[in-house]
Amino acid sequence: MIPLVIGFVTSGLLWLFFRPPFGKNIVRLNTDQRIVALTYDDGPNPPYTERLLDVLAKHNVKATFFMIGNRIAKHPETVDRVIAEGHQIGNHTYSHPVLGFLPPFYVQRQIERTDDLIRQHGIVEEIVFRAPMLTRFLPVAYVLAKLDRTHISCDVWSWDWTTQNPDKITKTVLKKIKPGSIIVLHDGKAENRKANRSGTIEATDRIITALKQDGYRFVRLSDVSHRCTVGC
């Protein structure tokens, strides 16, 4: 009996840690219209972020860039260009740690330090946040709830951190798309080393072309309301 109780309690604690049943977690846009949101993590990462911006400008598409704080500090001119061209800036922590296994004070410091850097670029509106690897475990959910912040997840993984084959990236994204999808791609690399993102750039061009042909429009996260799902 005792082992059964211990097992039940342990399972409950693990569930609470990995899937906290509180806080706001957005996995897709709150719409049935044929619109999607392109989001890019781990930048800014010259020259690839600039090349990506060229592709987005060619298609007149706006996206949301979840940036790492220490890369914002290193490449302010790239951040300014992203903003100047009408894209949205999001917070992806200061140094890209796995926040879910860190104490709340450290989680909060990672978020606030990057907020401060983003504000230095003239951003006054609400700053959206996405945890590295989307790990909204208990410490992250707790801090975000305390700060009344929402976590931005996704419903379309590109898996472009595992391959830079544009055919694979494009196919992976297109087969999962539905109205309101939030797509995760990467213009940088988590470890903050230089990362060749040529495949992601080419895939972005193909994804936009294909979805436009299918009647989709592209929006920033700030352009529409969201559907919040707890514990996703």
Token pair recorded at residue 51 = 């090349």
Give the number of residues written for the chain.
232
Q: CA-CA distance, 141 to 71, in Å (whole number)?
A: 24
223 tagged catalytic: no
Strand partners, 28: 181, 227
Residues 228/150, Cβ–Cβ less than 8 Å: yes
41 tagged catalytic: yes
Residues 38/61, Cβ–Cβ less than 8 Å: yes
Tell how far CA 87 is from the center of its chain: 14
Catalytic entry in 41, 42, 155, 187: 41
Token pair recorded at residue 221 = 């996260």
Catalytic entry in 75, 96, 186, 226: 186
Q: CA-CA distance, 7 to 150, in Å (whole number)?
A: 32
Q: CA-CA distance, 230 to 90, in Å (whole number)?
A: 20
Cα distances (Å, whole numbers) of residue 145 to 22, 38, 217, 231: 8, 25, 32, 13
Q: Active-site residues: which are they? A: 41, 186
